[in-house]
Amino acid sequence: MTTAVHTDALAARGIAYALLARCLSIDTAALTDETVLADLRAALREAGHQHALQWLPATPAADADDLRRRWVRWFDQGRVAPYECSNTPPSPGGHTPRLADIAGFYRAFGMQVHGDRPDHVVAELEFASWASLSEAAAWVDGDEEAAERCAAATRSFLRDHLGRWLDAFAARVGGIDALAPWLPYASAAARVVADDAIARNVVPLHSFAVLPDDASLLPDEDPIPTCGGDPFD
């Protein structure tokens, strides 16, 4: 693969990650926008994610207001919590070390989550987007060292975080009829993450523990870390 083709695919993957994040966010107008769907199809095609394309709907959804009410009920207040720590069992030290590790990735790229936890699906997909776009830009600039740092960060993040839970989240979305409009985007995101991991020779650290059906948010009193150690070790 030539450098130009490689960077074009990286940039397209970064755009796809960003659009998938938007489609899984409270911005439900994205699900009704034909341009968003067309741009997502084009980005997935350019990035080589043919398997993810099969999940996308033929046409956009119809009612953004109804979708917003469903999003709040099921994702914001319901039991299908869009958080890594709600879809994976805790480590012996609880969830706080994992949240701190995620925040460390963001800080290394000059990012910080405002108003929510760092393990939200939107935040994690947006980080994957920024890391991919930054890697592509570094290659274009001829900065191999920066490109390799971005690639190492992406590999670690896919292995330790995004790749370990997004498929489980998509399966939960698929189990609720009211969440059918989001299933294509959750499934496509899980497929892109899986393909990205394969391309980077990464095996995500999946857990085979079975979470209860009512797995939900962490208690409100749990801290929201804003820093962490070196996330790329």
Mean local confidence (pLDDT), 104-110: 97
User: For residue 1, what pLDDT is reported?
Assistant: 53
What is the band of 221 on the pLDDT scale with cuts at 50, 70, 90? very low
DSSP string, 168-224: HHHHHHHT-GGGGGGHHHHHHHHHHHHHHHHHTT-------PPPPTT--PPPTTS--
Q: What angle do CA 168, 173, 177 make, to 5 degrees?
A: 150
Report pLDDT digits (tens) over 120-179.
999 999 999 999 999 999 999 999 999 999 999 999 999 999 999 999 999 999 999 999
- Sequence-ordered list of residues with C-beta below 8 angstroms from that of 71, at least 6 positions apart, any chain: 26, 28, 182
* pTM, entire model: 0.88
3-199, which class in CATH? mainly alpha
Report pLDDT digits (tens) over 62-104.
999 999 999 999 999 878 999 999 999 887 788 899 999 999 9
d(CA 233, CA 125): 21
Mean local confidence (pLDDT), 199-210: 78
Domain boundaries, the chain: 3-199
Among 217, 223, 220, 219, residue whose Cα is nearest residue 86? 217
